[in-house]
Amino acid sequence: MYLVEGADKAALIDTGYGIGDLKGYVETLTEKPLIVLITHGHLDHVAGAGQFEQVYMNHADITLAKEHSMVEMRKAAMRNSAPQLLAGLTEKDFIPPFTGEFLPLQDGQTFDLGGVTLKLLALRGHTNGILTVLNVQDRTIMLGDACGVGVLLCLPESTNIEDYRANLINMQHNEPLYDQVLREHGKFESPCSVLEDCIEACDHILAGTDDAVRTEMMGLVAYRAFAVDEDGKRLDGKEGNLLYKPEKVYASNHSSKSK
């Protein structure tokens, strides 16, 4: 999650798993009127939205967000990723799912927080509705789960590699607008070259020349474009990497890649 404060308003970007009193915590950080921007409908980004009123999200992710906000789904994910944390929680620690109407959020939309402008930029791939957030004055872009060290394109809601590549190329037009890249997992920062690295990964996958390392994660099998060491770093020292499924490589579905 990120909290951005301007002279008039503050924006909370994403709401995490929805555990504990997120709103109370945010109120210790800012007294400004708050808007909430959800980058995409996954449970680790949207599930805390239930505590807030003005919540914006791309409507392309609404079905996904509703499913992912369910307490049972959040528990199931934590059983996998954080069983000890889950064991220490009670029912009332879970923020109930958001029941209001998500305000629309789309590519190109801007928010003036008072001296701070946030601009939403689409980078479809990880999900259909995923948006990145450009802080115009800070020349910083928050790519979130849309582009990073292990972009998950192996999910049922992900796009194919060919389409994702086209969206990355489109995002390159925005490169003159930023010189810092933030993410929402791992070490939270990447060099700007992460975008080109992911384009390179797509090129290799499409040409069949990627490392295609078989990986099991969250109960599904996926292929990692570039081999990594035990810390998850690419062996060649570059940053961007992605996980995909061979049957979702090409835009036309009659030519899936054999593995």
**127/140 with CB nearer Zn ion:** 127
**Distance in Å, CB of 155 to Zn ion, minimum:** 8
Q: In this chain, which residue has its C-beta nearest to Zn ion?
A: 42
Q: For binding to Zn ion (CB under 5 A), which residues are involved?
A: 42, 145
CA atoms within 13 A on the CB side of 251: 6
Q: For residues 131 and 145, what is the distance between their CA atoms, to the nearest angstrom?
A: 9
**42/183 with CB nearer Zn ion:** 42
Using DSSP's 3-state secondary structure scheme, residue 144 falls into helix
**145/200 with CB nearer Zn ion:** 145
**9/39 with CB nearer Zn ion:** 39
**Distance in Å, CB of 145 to Zn ion, minimum:** 4
Tally of CB atoms within 10 A around 170: 14
**Distance in Å, CB of 40 to Zn ion, minimum:** 6
Beta bridge partners of 110: 119
**Distance in Å, CB of 144 to Zn ion, minimum:** 8
Q: For residues 49 and 236, what is the distance between their CA atoms, to the nearest angstrom?
A: 39
CA atoms within 13 A on the CB side of 97: 19
